[in-house]
Chain A
Amino acid sequence: EAGVAQSPRYKIIEKRQSVAFWCNPISGHATLYWYQQILGQGPKLLIQFQNNGVVDDSQLPKDRFSAERLKGVDSTLKIQPAKLEDSAVYLCASSSPGRGTTYNEQFFGPGTRLTVL
């Protein structure tokens, strides 16, 4: 079974530019998460989708960040305009209820490392 795919793996931009990241979750996974992981810290949830609806975007800086999950499959996270403090790894994860359990284990992609100069 293929894992969570993310692209690009690396991106370098200048501040005030725009950037977009793409995530393809594991097939059949209804829930999709975007995390921001700043160097030396643990991941922080930015936004969570259930199918194509937003469950939680309380920690998403909505003045510059946006995300969508059209058709409830792939998702795109955009930053416009980027700031220096947005330099981080952006991780995508997906989950789906397992058989015989109520716990939805999250499976993570390899992340996109963003450097803002």
Chain B
Amino acid sequence: AQKVTQAQTEISVVEKEDVTLDCVYETRDTTYYLFWYKQPPSGELVFLIRRNSFDEQNEISGRYSWNFQKSTSSFNFTITASQVVDSAVYFCALSDENRDDKIIFGKGTRLHILP
């Protein structure tokens, strides 16, 4: 069965600090997809990234970066130079090749960026 674990329930950092959100996943599939979503206080989920299990290259997008390590089944998310607007709940998620739109979400990490 597929499972996503986000061990950090809540994190608080001071603005401009770097912060890493951890994600560990479980799957028996050889092909799968990993996601990160952001849920700001307004409620709607915002898609951040989708990663194929065969692509282990790290990715950087502005202040966001993702570290995918298949050997440890982890897909961690780092925000560099955090800003107050980054305050939100962040979800890591997983889907398989056959149903890449059936997304299994972790419980989320609530991130507080303090001014």
Give the B-binding residues of A (Cβ under 8 A): 3-4, 31, 33, 40-45, 48, 56, 89, 91, 93, 95, 103-111, 113
Establish whether residues B105 and A110, one from each chain, have CB atoms under 8 Å apart when the complex forms. no
Q: A41-B107, A42-B108 are in contact. Are A4 and B102 (CB under 8 A)?
A: no
Establish whether residues A109 and B101, one from each chain, have CB atoms under 8 Å apart when the complex forms. no
* B57 contacts A by Cβ under 8 Å: no
Establish whether residues A89 and B44, one from each chain, have CB atoms under 8 Å apart when the complex forms. no
- Contact indicator per residue, chain B 36-52, by CB within 8 Å of chain A (1) or not (0): 00000011111100100
9 tightest A-B CB contacts, nearest first: A42-B105, A108-B45, A110-B43, A108-B44, A111-B43, A110-B44, A42-B91, A41-B107, A43-B105
Distance from B35 Cβ to chain A, minimum over Cβ atoms (Å) = 10
Number of interface residues of B (CB under 8 A): 19
The complex places the Cα of A89 from the Cα of B43 at a distance, in Å, of 9
17 additional A-B residue pairs with CB within 8 Å, beyond A42-B93, A45-B102, A106-B47: A31-B101, A40-B107, A40-B108, A41-B105, A42-B4, A42-B106, A42-B108, A43-B45, A44-B105, A45-B103, A56-B99, A91-B44, A103-B50, A105-B47, A106-B101, A107-B47, A108-B46
* B100 contacts A by Cβ under 8 Å: yes
The complex places the Cα of A3 from the Cα of B108 at a distance, in Å, of 23
B110 — nearest CB in chain A belongs to which residue?
Answer: A40
Interface centre among B46, B106, B108 (most CB of A within 10 A): B108
Using a CB-CB cutoff of 8 Å, which residues 27-67 of chain B contact chain A?
42-47, 50
Residues of A within 8 A of B100 (CB): 103-104
A111 — nearest CB in chain B belongs to which residue?
Answer: B43
- Contact indicator per residue, chain B 94-115, by CB within 8 Å of chain A (1) or not (0): 0000011111011110000000
Q: A42-B93, A103-B100 are in contact. Are A109 and B44 (CB under 8 A)?
A: yes
- Contact indicator per residue, chain B 75-100, by CB within 8 Å of chain A (1) or not (0): 00000000000000001010000011
